[in-house]
Chains A and B, each alone.
Chain A
Amino acid sequence: MTPENFLYLAVVLFAIGLVGIMLRRNLFVVYLSIELMLSSVNLILATFARVQGDMGGGIIALLMIAVIAAEAAIFLSLIIYIYRTTKTVDSKRITKLANQEEK
């Protein structure tokens, strides 16, 4: 249980989250992958707090959790909104930002 192990783990989790964002089109999965990445960062913060013996990292991680909560609220509201208007959670079909003439 060395600090490096925690860090390696966090990096791998982060990578998995990254893969999830790029790969999946289902908005829920995208959201959960984002959460995964955030959590991995939290882990790194906590690890360094323990390494340094300084509570600062832990505090930040705590505040991060608050942010996560806020973000959950917004993201999920957005999903509801999108579902209501476009009846889908497939990110490929949500193309309002695209150049309309092309397609």
Chain B
Amino acid sequence: MESLVFSILALFLLAGAIGIVALKESIYSAMSFLLVMVAMAGMYALLHQSFLFLAQILVGVGAVVVLSLMIILSINLRIENLPSQQITPKKIGFVLTMVAPIVIILFYAIGKTDLSFAPVSQEFGGIKLVGSELFSHWVLPFEVISILLLSAMVGAVVLSRRRLDSDS
């Protein structure tokens, strides 16, 4: 049963990923990205990470995807502003050749491992466990991340600030 879900989700993931890369219109890429985010959430769920599943949906879809779509739409690109791309098969081949060794070695490494899922309690991945871990062992990264979020917010505001004398 789980294998079936996994396969379906994997399929969605792959389809979405290829969609991001291969589709010409930005909107379509964004849509594929949405698919990827949702399917990823599903993967987390499969891995017994319930809180992560929730967070992924909330942030990944609710924030990232929405934001991307908003920007894409508001930029109001005309066709002529889009890159005139000629993705020749030669280029694809070249890039694939470059990426292939990385993939191969990673596959090889994975193949050498012998992993199995450990038995976990029902609460594993649940919000209670996440909270206790987060605020005991992982407090420092938590705080640092909050600073990071602060700076990102400031940066975003600065970057998108309109100058009074510039035209958009």
Residues of A within 8 A of B (CB): 1-9, 11-20, 22-26, 28-29, 31-33, 35-36, 39, 42-43, 46-47, 49-53, 55-56, 58-63, 65-74, 76-81, 83-84, 87-93
Contacts and interface: CB of A to CB of B under 8 A. Distances in A.
Nearest to A91: B83
A14 B17 CA distance: 9
A51 B115 contact: yes
Contacts of A52: 118
Interface of B: 2-3, 6, 10, 13-14, 17-18, 20-21, 26, 29-30, 32-33, 36-37, 40, 43-44, 46-49, 51-52, 55-56, 59-60, 63-64, 67-68, 71-72, 75, 77, 81-85, 87, 91-92, 95-96, 98-99, 102-103, 106-107, 110-111, 113, 115-120, 124-125, 129-130, 133-134, 137-138, 141-142, 145, 148-149, 151-153, 155-156, 159-160, 166, 168
B102 A65 contact: no
A75 B106 CA distance: 29
A73 B115 contact: no
A29 B20 contact: yes
Nearest to B14: A12
Contact of B99 (A15, A29, A88): A15
A77 B159 contact: yes
Contacts of A26: 26, 29, 82-83, 85
A63 B130 CA distance: 11
B81 A89 contact: yes
B25 to A, nearest CB: 9
B10 to A, nearest CB: 5
Given A22-B95, A55-B129, A76-B68, 14 more contacts: A1-B46, A4-B110, A4-B111, A4-B113, A8-B107, A17-B17, A17-B21, A29-B26, A32-B30, A39-B40, A59-B134, A76-B67, A81-B160, A88-B83
Contacts of B87: 23-24
B145 A29 contact: no
B5 to A, nearest CB: 8
A21 to B, nearest CB: 9
Contact of B33 (A1, A7, A32, A63): A32
